[in-house]
Amino acid sequence: MERWGVRESVCGVKLFIRTRSITETQRGFRCEQNQQEAPSLNAIRRWVRQWREEGSVMCKEPPGRLSSVRTPDNIARVLTSVRHSPRRSARKHAQALRMSDRSVRHILRMDLSLHPYKLQVVHALSNREKKVRLQFCHQFVEILTENPDLPNKLMMSDEAHFHLHGTVNKQNFRSWSAANPHELHQHPTYNPKVTVWCAVWSRGVIGPYFFEDEDRKAITVTSQHYTEMIDEFLSPDLPPNSGNL
């Protein structure tokens, strides 16, 4: 890449203003500067354009790296805003602070090590329910004192419903097309499903057990069906020395 100094640039501008010709400017440049080479066409045009726009042919220093928005002052501003309104979105914080959403998110994650946690939905407990649960805990501690082997005889069980129609999550399904294909996924009003029971205890897993009728069709889990499952499936499957559950 060619590189000419200020003296050569001034000479090139003067020659072009006087001759109005790139070729004559290059010829005159060789003579006045006693050079075998002359500036290129683009170099002469750049000198002239810079002189007309800025009144100088001095080469500007290339701009340095822009200062980051993540300054200590901005970090402190974001921290104060978050502490004042922790449930406000990052976009709302950016609008209030007159900063870009990208910068605020970088400060939240990289400088403040914050993470957007989701709201957890839990079952509400009344004061009576809390007292009953606390009472049960005290009673269970007393039982463990008398029977330390009880945890090995405890069993945790649950049921799960499995739909048989092939559920499609439309949020994860996309179809690339120039026009809307109007693709539909049909499912019945009453979805066929099967209910499965399973239990876990210190000796392993018991099950699965399918709640079905004689024709192997899914049935609703009722107290009667649950009792039949315990008598016909669970009790015979327990080892003889398992003791009282």
Tell me if 38 sits within 8 A of 27, measured CB to CB.
yes
Cα gap 157→207, rounded to integer Å: 10
Q: Which residues on neighbouring strands pair with residue 162, listed in sequence order?
A: 194
pLDDT above 90: residue 1 = no
pLDDT of residue 240: 64
pLDDT of residue 136: 94
140-151 pLDDT, tens digit each: 999 999 988 888
Tell me if 99 sits within 8 A of 91, measured CB to CB.
no
> From the CB of residue 11, how many other CB atoms can be counted at a distance below 10 Å?
21
pLDDT above 80: residue 60 = no
Mean pLDDT estimate for the chain: 81
pLDDT of residue 66: 47
170-205 pLDDT, tens digit each: 666 666 666 777 777 666 666 677 888 999 988 888
pLDDT of residue 188: 66
Cα–Cα–Cα angle for 40, 41, 45, nearest 5°?
120
Q: What pTM value is reported for the model?
A: 0.39
pLDDT of residue 40: 82
One-letter identity of residue 182: H
